[in-house]
Amino acid sequence: MSPLQDQLDQISEQTRSLVQPERLQPSENAIAELFSSGIEQQILPVGSIAPEFSLPDANGRMVHSADLLALGPVIINFFRGRWCPYCLTELTAWQALYPELRKRGALLVAISPQTVHQNSLLLQQHPLPFPVLTDARCAVAERFRLVYTVPAYHQKHYRSILVNIPFINEDPSWRLLLPATYLLRPDGSIAFAQAHADFRVRPEPEEVLAALDRERSL
């Protein structure tokens, strides 16, 4: 399988070849503003203790972080929603590597602000082997310092391409999260943390597995 970032770059290239530059400009402006805000440097960093959470999976069953950590290290993938092709590509990459992850004794959960129903639809189309959890109104993501409000001009852009985020998330606030990946040690401390203001950029899963291997060798 090609590196994840290569796959994401292909999506960007295809989009640019099909969509007029002026139609893409709102996203470019929003990314630049978000980057300038310094949000990437404000995320909950390595060495911090991750907040505990209890969130519903795609069947409505509650999943508790304390129960997961009792079984071993946990990787958290924060993603925007099933409407985001970059997120779907990243989740598929983790799906392919999930057996390797389990061999290392670790678990993975994916978290987004979209509703339980939206997560259920996601799993019907993409049968992921790990829990997909709903973080209503980005409450948990906010504690990881990943949350921002989509600016009005970008809201207009999303509406123009039929991405109705308030409906998808059942939240009128237009709050979204940075796509982010965390590795939690069993004691809840953070061993790996990465998030990007540019939603087209994600860490390679192999980077996270390497961090997990380093933890196992200590």
**What would the pLDDT profile of 96-144 be if each residue is shown by its tens digit?**
999 999 999 999 999 999 999 999 999 999 999 999 999 999 999 999 9
pLDDT digits (tens, 9 = 90+) for 73-82: 999 999 999 9
pLDDT digits (tens, 9 = 90+) for 23-62: 899 999 999 999 999 999 999 999 999 999 999 999 999 9
State mean pLDDT over 153-160: 95
20 is a domain residue: no
> What's the domain range around 187?
27-48+56-205
- Reference 168, options 180, 159, 160; nearest CA is 159
Give the separation between CA 189 and CA 48, rounded to whole angstroms: 6
* 217: pLDDT strictly greater than 90: no
152 is a domain residue: yes
Is residue 52 a contact partner of residue 66, using CB atoms and an 8 Å limit?
A: yes
60 is a domain residue: yes
16 is a domain residue: no
Give the separation between CA 195 and CA 210, rounded to whole angstroms: 17
Number of domains in the chain: 1
pLDDT of residue 142: 98
CATH at residue 189: 3.40.30.10
Give the separation between CA 141 and CA 180, rounded to whole angstroms: 9
Is residue 164 a contact partner of residue 90, using CB atoms and an 8 Å limit?
A: no
Query: Which three-class secondary structure state does DSSP give residue 126?
Result: coil
Q: Tell me the residue type at 203.
A: P
Query: Which three-class secondary structure state does DSSP give residue 10?
Result: helix
Please count the other Cβ atoms lying within 10 Å of the Cβ belonging to residue 52. 12
186 is a domain residue: yes
